[in-house]
Structure 1
Amino acid sequence: MPFPNVDSVESVLAIVVVFSVLVLVHELGHFLLAKRAGILCREFALGMGPKIFSVKRGETEYTLRLLPIGGLVRMAGEDPELDILKPHMEVGVEWDASGKVTRILLDGLEKGVGRMIVGNVVRFDLEHALTLTLDIGGEQRTFSVHPQAHLVKEGQEIQIAPYNRQFKGKTVMQRFWAIFAGPAANFLLAFVLFAVIGLMYGVPNDIPQLGEVRPGGPAAQAGLLKGDQVISIQGKSVASWRDIVQIISKSPGQTLTFEIERDGVRKTIPVKVANDHNVGKILVANPVTYAPWEALKYGALSTYEFTAMILKSLGLLFTGQVGLQDLSGPVGIFKMTGEFAQQGLAILMKWAAVLSINLGLFNLLPLPALDGGRLAFLLVEALRGRPVDPHKEGMVHFLGFAFLMLLILVVTWNDLQRLFL
């Protein structure tokens, strides 16, 4: 059975672009604040799964992965990348003009080539003291290691990370901002998207004036024009666009007398209201403004309103008023994104903004494996004055990740039932 309503290249591209932008902005938030704190960021990845493209710039490898969902910023200290160096291992060392080791070769050793000495590792400290002691022909020699030295294995170079360059080596507040910046970037993206919509398509205005009049609609047939100032309807004064909507929506099938002002002249025009499922309509848009300041206000207000609405929905979920069967997962979101893409750029941008808010809020939930869960552990650390045992925290995050995978399977099953059953 074909995938409903996503049957065009444009829709598929829209899905890929929307989700790539949401993930890119989220991970960019983490990345920029981590770099600002001085954390060594080993990889900035867009997508999940196998790498299909990578390029290294400075200390960071920028990668594009096969599946256009998710992403990551791999910070030093979050994985055991330096466990490849072991005591008694035969290694070669190269050093710079100041005598500090810049490269530690773990294989492919060629004695006597270049400025290199080969020996067996006695002990090393690549986090604090930055020293490496080798046994060279029965004599021990201690080297000072450059803070940006590299381990080389099978042609791959891994930069060492002194403790002050690792995530765990930063203050609680520095780590807090590096984590919080991801969700915060999603809220910022939503604000920008809403503001751009306001600039491109105008910000709805609540003044009692007519906007675009749809050709062939009841208003156009009656002779109403864009820009007409509505004074009263059926003798009832109106002071806002909201007043106009309320009167019309409650009068399906009726003929209403509009008193309008056009070019300084007042006119009385009867309008036959259409009946759309017992809701009155005359097919007129509300007036809009393209003022930059109004667009910024619209961006901020829309971000706030959708955030409040989503939080209210989450509240219904936690109180049991909304069940898991009412949730949508990736399949449902992909489907809706494809449908909105076919309705025009403005609708797609608005949907992307709402998804960005959802992503930001979801990541702030105090659940293990999410940014909110990591922030909760940082709060505990700040209160007790010492970090939670890394192994215990890791186990909690692992269990949380398993729970999230189960939740995704449940909501995906919901989506598939709606689509195919």
Structure 2
Amino acid sequence: MRLEQSYFVEEDYYDVLLIRPEATQLEVKEAFEHLSKGLNLTEPNLALRVMAAEKMLVLTQAYEVLSDPIQRSHYDLRHLGRKNLPVSDQVDGLFREAVKAYKQHQLEMALRFFKEISLLYPHRPLYRVHLAISYAEKNWMTFAEAELETALRLDPDFTFAKETVAHLLFQLPDKTVKSHNNQLNREVALLAAGFVGLGFLLLSGVPQKFLGGVVGKVQQATEEIMDPMKKAARKAGKNGANNDVSSQLPQDMVQELEAKNAQKSSQVNIPELGPDFKPEGQTYDYRKQKAKAKTFYPEQGIVVVTYEDGSILTYRPAELQGWQNDPETKQAVMVTRQNELIPAPASLPLKLPDGSDANLKAPDFPSQLFPEYETEKSSSIGKPIAPNSVITPPPAQATGQANPTGTSTASQGGNPYTPYAGAGR
């Protein structure tokens, strides 16, 4: 039995799906659908039916590994090695444009590129870390820590991710810290060893009761490492400083500011765009992403949509061009000023930062910012938006603000953290 398991582990899943190792997430899905479509599992001939079933089993195993970002990352590290990870020309071009935009302080454009790359390559920790750095520059530490946590799960030994955690979350000096002298590195190494040990246990066929105890301990270790990261993130950087300033304002001034913000939100009218509406210029179409969670952060005026592949998209309802009830995907799609088509289905409950459901009928809740929950029209909107061509990097230029104003650059010791002098490449 163990020999059979070892055989399946060493299977070249890229060859099984007839794709290259640099294939994007979408290409993996399309390859599986194409190859499995020709298999007839109800074939009357027994021999042919068995062959089809065996082929489907191998295809399914390959797809389950390569479609899951964490499994694919670990698979690539085992079979390709950290120094030999291939990248497509499209992703490499987007990455170069993203870094260029970041260096030119065009943060909105850099964020757009990094988010697009993370959708194409959700299994590569390098791009997660760069996205986290850009989030930190916007003082969105909650999103930054989420991307860093994902990067460490993709590759617990990724030095660039651990160094970035130390810089951004723990405010350590910008210098190389030896792993054996750094508590975070030691804890992350222990966590990595736990995952590796768990993998060997799974392949060895240990008793279920014992395995449950091991999983529980690994999960507990994960929480013990990640919780301090989250606490440190809340205390670190300008984000904490802004909160301190707000708390020192006179109460009447705070109430006046809150009243003005509430009045501004109440005046927002998000139009429902017609079926023939097409954004002008380059369009960034994320409609194929499957959303699993939708959270509204009232203080920042931001909606965060989390998708099944682990990616995150954000938008400010008050600064949308409008929204569409897309008949192709049967879900609400938000159209930002940067021509991003962000799926934000009304079938998902709108959550608040504490995990509770938002009360859209509450008098003080800005329900006008969420028109998708006020309409039941889902299948009679008309023709869908024309599919977009493959995204190519637009020329570097400043973009309009689609994120909260009033934020300042995250810094280390008063100086911006700039990791782009060859770091992580």
Higher helix share: 2
TM-score band (shorter)? under 0.3
Q: TM-score, normalised by structure 2?
A: 0.22
Q: TM-score, normalised by structure 1?
A: 0.22
The structure having more radius of gyration, on CA atoms, is: 1
Higher strand share: 1
